[in-house]
Amino acid sequence: MPLVEVIPSEHTSQESLAKSFEFLRRCGKMPILVGDCAGFLVNRVLIPYINEAGFILQDGNTIVSIDEVLKEFGMPMGAFILADEVGIDVGLKVADILHESYGDRMQVSSVLRMVHDDLKLLGKKQGKGFYIHNKKGEMTVNLDIAKNLSNNTNIATTKEIINRAIFIMINEASRCLEEGIIQKASYLDFAMIAGTGFPAFRGGLLKYADDVGIDYVVTKLEAYTKLFGNRFTPSDLLYKLHKEKKTFYTGEELWKR
């Protein structure tokens, strides 16, 4: 991906930052200034997307149905294909770090742990993960995973899959704004487009939230909190935007007070 997150320490000079940005641009990369936190920006927002797909799979949907819905939404690939590409061991390691840092809202889905710990799958680099990958670049779903899942029948609708996978990202992104990890909604949207392939035609993650409506996002997050637990608890910033009738693109003063 073209994005490179640049994280200064308290000792980093403006001159060093400027030289870093110049160097990265000469390398054809897109640098963005990000504050220091577990997962930095992109992984902190993206891993909950993969993790939530795991929870949806546990509930009863299939690997293919979840990935097809997310691809149709505009993501460059479904969550399980992405997990295979990144490496299931790498994804789980990052997920564990986020869980350790942020607590229960980053609880790792049992599917990810089962696939790695019990089935010993690593993803594309091994030739087998959520999908079976051959040397021609073709892939078929790994049916062994379904055999190891409980026979749950809580099938999420297309809309529910999108809302759960995308709104949990919006929620974490809003926390990055209120913590000052990133300064502007537009910067975060740029990072998610350049760093994760979030569909540009939707304007970015937070622009999408504004388009569907902050009231709707908060209402659905509250409903999902009751159904699935505190990983969906809306952030303070989302409640402020909701109360003040602001959007991420009109309410910047609410996280800079």
- The CATH architecture assigned to 3-7+158-254 reads Orthogonal Bundle (1.10)
Spatial distance between the Cα atoms of 77 and 65, rounded to a whole number of angstroms: 13
In whole angstroms, how far apart are CA 241 and each of 127, 168, 211, 244?
45, 17, 14, 5
Enumerate the β-bridge partners of residue 139. Answer: 133
pLDDT at res. 256 = 83
> Mean pLDDT throughout 114-127?
96
> Against a cut of 0.85, is the pTM above it?
yes
Mean pLDDT of the chain: 95
Do the beta carbons of residue 206 and residue 185 sit within 8 Å? yes
| Sign of the C-alpha dihedral computed for residues 228, 230, 234 and 235 taken in this order | negative
pLDDT of residue 87: 96
What share of the chain has pLDDT > 90, as a percent?
94
For the chain, give every domain's residue range: 3-7+158-254, 42-147
User: Strand pairing of 3-6 and 30-33?
Assistant: parallel
Q: Which residues pair with residue 31 across a beta bridge?
A: 4
Closest to 112 measured CA to CA, from 147, 87, 138: 87
> How far, rounded to the nearest angstrom, does the alpha carbon of residue 9 sit from its chain's CA centroid?
25
Dist. CA 69–CA 153, nearest whole Å:
18
pLDDT value of residue 111: 94
Tokens of 204: 């970015």
Residue 216 clears pLDDT 90, i.e. is over it: yes
Please give the Cα distance from 157 to 140 (Å, whole number): 23
Q: What is the pLDDT of residues 20-79, one digit of tens each?
A: 999 999 999 999 999 999 999 999 999 999 999 999 999 999 999 999 999 999 999 999
pLDDT at 257 over 80: no
User: Which one of 1.10.1040.50, 3.40.50.720, 3.10.310.30, 3.90.1150.10 gives the CATH number of domain 42-147?
Assistant: 1.10.1040.50
How does DSSP classify residue 151? -
Kindly state the average pLDDT of the residues 212-220. 98
Please answer whether residues 227 and 240 qualify as being in contact, where contact means their C-beta atoms are separated by less than 8 angstroms: no
Tens of pLDDT, residue by residue over 63-88, are 999 999 999 999 999 999 999 999 99
**93-120 tens-digit pLDDT:** 999 999 999 999 999 999 999 999 999 9
Burial label, 204 (beta-carbon count in 10 A; 0-12, 13-18, 19+): buried
pLDDT at 153 over 90: no
Q: Do domains 3-7+158-254 and 42-147 have the same CATH topology?
A: yes
Mean pLDDT score, 228-247: 97
